[in-house]
Amino acid sequence: MTARSYDITLLGATGYTGRLVLTYLCEHLFENSRSKKKLKVAIAGRNLNKLEGLKQDMVSADRVNEALAIEVVDVDDVVGLMSLAEKSQVLISTVGPYLKYGENVIKACAEKGTDYLDLTGEFEFVDQMYTKYDMVARATRSRLIHCCGFDSIPHDLGVLFAVQQLSEQVGSLVRSDVQVNGYVQVGGRISAGTWHSAVNVMSRFRNTLDLKQVWRVLTRGKEVDGRFIRVAKPRFGFDRKLKSWVVPLPTIDSQVVRRSAELFEQYGRTFTYGHYLRVKRLPKLLITLGGASAAFGLSQLSWTREKLLSLMNSGEGPSSGDRERAWFKVTIEAKSGAHQVTATVRGGDPGYTETAKMISEAAMTLILERDHLEPVYGVLTPAAAMGDLLIERLSEAGIQFTLLEGR
């Protein structure tokens, strides 16, 4: 890649999540153990006064010096985004909902050969961007990597980690049938941006769900070079081994894991993945399901959808105390024949503190580990683009990847 003005550009820096990402970057970029290189960072957004105020906040807190650059650009400004992408090696976007605000940023990065990271959990956006820009990004040798926060790094990298541990038990899995289940537990609050994205995703359910296609995937799977990638048959009930209630979790995480399985032969000749919410107490599960059902129903009508969106205003999010108390745990069971491993991925506040850490470490992996990355390009998953390198960085940053048992 030719020399560019900025190693990392953060678009949407003045938003709730953007501030957390910038804080993490500023605390870690200039004192990294892997490189003595001084990285060049820019913050970007549409409001110059807010950007200058944010920079001053960072300088006053001794998190960064005056060298932090400012770029004023709007997500509707195609020419401005092209210029910004051309100046940047890696561009992080925290501007969502991505279906509404994301495509111009993707287009600019794909055409200018810029690596791109976001925090989307929107099925429709990811599918559209793959269709439109995968081949463009391959031609320009850029990596367009969606879902670099809690959706879906713990699940995507957790499955990669578990499959690697399983292969040490079995040997090569290339000719094996592999079954993996992921069980998610979380505690914490959401921000306005996450809430608005979730409501918008639910409101577009009819646009994203093709029942015939889903049925084909469920019953036959997807063939990729003679291999078959499937989703597990949904199940609901009490799991005696986990001592918890489990229910299918219809988030983008399973889509991301299956995409990684398509790209990795080591996931097996056939690969089946099930993604579940895990709750220990039935009353809590019923409350969760009731709330989700109500939100889904209300999101289908425009006037009730507006009421839902108005429950949280842009820029709102959990307090630092709320974030300190929040946590997540993903338990992954992987088996092939008589062999089985159980692994966990654990961390603190999933939606914000750890999400800021995940996308920041992903950006630093793309910059600091560039010479060690696999030469793969296009629309990629975190596992496909960064794999073990990102697992190592996240482990050093406090997110725990642990093998519990293997046989």
Question: Are residue 279 and residue 210 in the same domain, yes or no?
Answer: yes
Distant-in-sequence, close-in-space partners of 301: CB < 8 Å, separation ≥ 6: none
**Average pLDDT value for the chain:** 86
Q: What distance in Å separates the CA atoms of residue 377 and residue 365, rounded to the nearest whole number?
A: 15
Q: What distance in Å separates the CA atoms of residue 337 and residue 171, rounded to the nearest whole number?
A: 12
Average pLDDT rounded to a whole number, residues 265-269: 92
- Whether 281 maps to a domain, the answer reads yes
Look-up of token digits 């940053």? 397
Query: So what's the pLDDT on residue 118?
Result: 98
Question: Are residue 219 and residue 319 in the same domain, yes or no?
Answer: yes
292 compared with 93, residue with greater pLDDT: 93
345 compared with 299, residue with greater pLDDT: 345
Count the domains in the chain: 2
Q: What distance in Å separates the CA atoms of residue 94 and residue 355, rounded to the nearest whole number?
A: 11
Compute and round to an integer the Cα radius of gyration of the chain.
Answer: 21
- Whether residue 211 has pLDDT greater than 50: no
Q: Is the pTM of this model over 0.85?
A: yes
Q: Please answer whether residues 130 and 365 qualify as being in contact, where contact means their C-beta atoms are separated by less than 8 angstroms.
A: no
The first and second tokens of residue 93, run together, are: 């976007």
Query: So what's the pLDDT on residue 249?
Result: 85
Q: What pLDDT band is residue 316 in, cutting at 50, 70 and 90?
A: low
- Whether residue 215 has pLDDT greater than 70: no
188: containing domain: 153-350+394-406
- Whether 1 maps to a domain, the answer reads no
Average pLDDT rounded to a whole number, residues 337-346: 94
- Whether residue 37 has pLDDT greater than 50: yes
Question: Are residue 160 and residue 37 in the same domain, yes or no?
Answer: no
Q: What pLDDT band is residue 189 in, cutting at 50, 70 and 90?
A: low
Query: So what's the pLDDT on residue 32?
Result: 47
Q: What is the dihedral of CA 366, 372, 378, 380, to 10 degrees?
A: -70
Question: Are residue 16 and residue 105 in the same domain, yes or no?
Answer: yes
Q: What distance in Å separates the CA atoms of residue 80 and residue 32, rounded to the nearest whole number?
A: 31
Q: What distance in Å separates the CA atoms of residue 142 and residue 136, rounded to the nearest whole number?
A: 9
Q: What pLDDT band is residue 214 in, cutting at 50, 70 and 90?
A: very low
The model's pLDDT over 382-403, given as tens digits with 9 standing for 90+, comes to 999 999 999 999 999 999 999 9
202 compared with 85, residue with greater pLDDT: 85
27: nearest Cα among 356, 370, 369: 356
Question: Are residue 163 and residue 84 in the same domain, yes or no?
Answer: no
- Whether residue 218 has pLDDT greater than 50: no
Question: Are residue 338 and residue 367 in the same domain, yes or no?
Answer: no
Preceding amide of 167 cis, omega within 30? no
Question: Are residue 290 and residue 320 in the same domain, yes or no?
Answer: yes
378: left (phi over 0), alpha (psi -120 to 50) or beta: left
Residue type for 219, please? T
Q: Which of 38-47, 93-102, 228-237, 349-358 has the lowest mean pLDDT?
A: 228-237
Q: What is the DSSP string of 214-276?
A: HHHHHHH-EEETTEEEEEPPP--EEETTTTEEEEE--STHHHHHHHHHHH-GGG-SEEEEEEE
- Whether 263 maps to a domain, the answer reads yes
Question: Are residue 207 and residue 331 in the same domain, yes or no?
Answer: yes
Q: What is the DSSP string of 295-338?
A: HHHHTTSHHHHHHHHTTS-TT----HHHHHH-EEEEEEEEEETT
* Bridge partner list, 298: none
- Whether 183 maps to a domain, the answer reads yes
* Bridge partner list, 187: 327
Q: Please answer whether residues 17 and 23 qualify as being in contact, where contact means their C-beta atoms are separated by less than 8 angstroms.
A: no
Question: Are residue 180 and residue 263 in the same domain, yes or no?
Answer: yes
Residue 311: phi, psi to the nearest 5? -65, -25
Average pLDDT rounded to a whole number, residues 351-374: 94
* Bridge partner list, 271: 178, 229
Alpha-carbon separation of residue 253 from 121, 165, 378 (angstroms): 8, 21, 19
- Whether 224 maps to a domain, the answer reads yes
- Whether residue 291 has pLDDT greater than 70: no
Q: What pLDDT band is residue 217 in, cutting at 50, 70 and 90?
A: very low
Q: Which of 44-48, 304-308, 326-330 has the lowest mean pLDDT?
A: 304-308
The first and second tokens of residue 337, run together, are: 């024949």
- Whether residue 188 has pLDDT greater than 80: no
- Whether 74 maps to a domain, the answer reads yes
Give whichever of 25-29, 285-289, 343-347 has the largest mean pLDDT: 343-347
Q: How many CB atoms lie within 10 A of CB 1?
A: 10
48: left (phi over 0), alpha (psi -120 to 50) or beta: alpha
Question: Are residue 382 and residue 240 in the same domain, yes or no?
Answer: no
202: nearest Cα among 288, 275, 297: 297
239 compared with 318, residue with greater pLDDT: 239
Look-up of token digits 């010096």? 65
Q: How many CB atoms lie within 10 A of CB 140?
A: 16
Question: Are residue 258 and residue 209 in the same domain, yes or no?
Answer: yes
Question: Are residue 79 and residue 173 in the same domain, yes or no?
Answer: no
- CATH code of 18's domain: 3.40.50.720
Q: Is the dihedral of CA 347, 353, 359, 363 positive or negative?
A: negative
Q: What distance in Å separates the CA atoms of residue 135 and residue 110, rounded to the nearest whole number?
A: 9
